[in-house]
Amino acid sequence: MYYTIKETRAALKSGETTSEKLVRSAVETFEKDKSAPIPLNAFIELYEDAVEKAQSADKEIEAARAAGTIDKLFEEKPLLGIPFANKDNINSKGHRLTCASKILEGYVAPYNATVIDRLEKAGAIALGRCNQDEFAMGSSTEYSSYGPTRNPINREFVSGGSSGGSAAAVAANQALFGLGTETGGSVRLPASYCGIYGLKPTYGVLSRWGVVAYGSSLDQVGILGHTPADIAEPLSLMCGVDMYDDTSADLPEGKSLNSLEALSDAEFKSLKIAIPKQFLKTEGADPDVVKSFEETRKWFTDKGAAVEEVDLPILDASIAAYYVIALSEAASNLSRFDGIRYGRRVDDGQGYDELYVKTRSEGFGPEVKRRIVIGNYVLSEQFSGDTYKKGMTVRARIQREVAAVFEKYDIILCPTCPTAAFKLGAKVDSPLEMYLSDLYTTFVNLARIPSINVPAGRTSTDGMPIGMQFAGAMFSEKKILRLAQNWENDHAGCGIAVKE
């Protein structure tokens, strides 16, 4: 497997490699990993038709090379023959989809999600479905019915969640880029833990059609890659209004992202960077994360950008508001999994109520049950929805105050997570401690703005990756990706993805 999309495309065009070789290499790695003493467990399964699609792509490439139209072919299908990793909650037609839950065992997707459809039209090949926290509820990919995904840097550590499988697959170079989803940081967090780039776009930029819902007003498809350019190109192909998703939106300059350039020196020196004082509190933050943050801050000032601290007290309420909203919406969304319409069914003939209870009791894991119970409690008659309404009120204020920051500043800078990746099992029995992994990420989802994780160093003790995030105003994906490219140009190798 090559390291970047650009390198891979050049090798495919020249005949140095073939799409079939890329896919078969992934298959061999997958089979070898399954029998390893400590499996990575990034992919749950590889799609059976991936090799066939790769062979078809190779035929197109060979024919175009013989006809002298190879450049035109790749202009029309810029990702032709390039495999990518898909998360297990994004529909890929004809393939199993389970959200890493027993309740969807055996379910086969009847259609493509819009993001999958658009990538396939560009020639990309969905390699397989990746592991995740069950129904995307978690921060470590330990809450999966398929077992945990481990960190490719050190397999004693978690890969982050809930898109930990996709992040691990990309970091281990088993796929060139990956799709994930996030509701409160589930793309940026595993990107940080695995030492790669991970983008959460503006809400609506990528269609949610065909993505299994967790918290509908927060959910967003995200992209994981080795470089900002490996995120920008798939984004340019997937973005835009979708007739099947009323919340979808066009991305200004989205199509120009296929040729990403770093900010010029003059553009960089005109940047104004905001650092929320609320994120300068070091209680609970790893000293190595604090050190990396200060180094990132210095990088901005050394390059001429203006860096200022801003006061946003409302951010202290972001975790509470996020979990009230997300868990309430999750309880509602997951009510459809009842054993009657699709998925697992546990029926001993005692009636629908008993079928419903037993199916859900056996089908859902402990973390999903916990979040459904909390969500239903928040929405119960006792509260009459007041708590959810208060959460939405706080959210509206976060949106207003964050938008006001961007009237003066270009970027909000903060760590992605208070800590680097932790060891498997360290927090799985401590939900509140696990929830605090999202301390720096949830405000982005509540404000519906884009943010990208950039690899920013390693811990001094275990050598695990540390990530920082650049958050921008709504629809500023191009700006933050170009800024991330400046970072990549100056810090190539700072990310510690496994190169083979």
Task: Look up the CATH number of the domain holding residue 101.
Answer: 3.90.1300.10
Annotation says 25 is catalytic: no
* Sign of torsion over alpha carbons 156, 465, 225, 191: positive
> Coil, strand, or helix at residue 452?
strand
Which residue from 297, 374, 357, 336 is spatially nearest to 107, judged by alpha carbons?
A: 336
pTM flag (> 0.85)? yes
Point out the catalytic residue in the list 162, 166, 292, 328. Answer: 162
Tell me whether residue 435 is in a domain.
no
Residue 122 lies in domain: 5-264+451-491
Tell me whether residue 413 is in a domain.
no
CB distance 186 to 193 below 8 Å: no
Annotation says 87 is catalytic: yes
Point out the catalytic residue in the list 19, 53, 77, 87. Answer: 87
- pLDDT of the chain, 500 residues: tens digit per residue: 567 999 999 999 999 999 999 999 999 999 999 889 999 999 999 999 999 999 999 999 999 999 999 999 999 999 999 999 999 999 999 999 999 999 999 999 999 999 999 999 999 999 999 999 999 999 999 999 999 999 999 999 999 999 999 999 999 999 999 999 999 999 999 999 999 999 999 999 999 999 999 999 999 999 999 999 999 999 999 999 999 999 999 999 898 998 899 999 999 999 999 999 999 987 778 999 999 999 999 999 999 999 999 999 999 999 999 999 999 999 999 999 998 888 888 888 888 888 989 999 999 999 999 999 999 999 987 776 789 999 999 999 999 999 999 999 999 999 999 999 999 999 988 877 888 889 999 999 999 999 999 999 999 999 999 999 999 999 999 999 999 999 999 997 655 544 44
Task: Enter the tokens of residue 15.
Answer: 């005949």
Which residue from 77, 103, 439, 49 is spatially nearest to 283, judged by alpha carbons?
A: 439
Tell me whether residue 125 is in a domain.
yes
Q: How far apart are CA 182 and CA 214, in angstroms?
A: 9
Tell me whether residue 371 is in a domain.
no
Spatial strand order in the sheet of 411-415 = 43-46, 125-130, 83-87, 177-182, 220-225, 197-200, 451-458, 465-472, 411-415, 272-276, 306-310
* Size of the chain, expressed as the number of residues it contains: 500
Tell me whether residue 64 is in a domain.
yes
Tell me whether residue 131 is in a domain.
yes
Tell me whether residue 277 is in a domain.
no
Tell me whether residue 101 is in a domain.
yes
| Count of the separate structural domains present in the chain | 1
Q: How far apart are CA 324 and CA 404, in angstroms?
A: 24
CB distance 343 to 103 below 8 Å: yes
Phi first, then psi, for residue 142 (nearest 5°) are -100, -20
Point out the catalytic residue in the list 140, 166, 186, 207. Answer: 186
What is 408-435 written as a DSSP string? Answer: T-SEEEEES-SS---BTTSSTT-HHHHH
Supply the DSSP symbol for 98: -
Amino acid at 356: Y
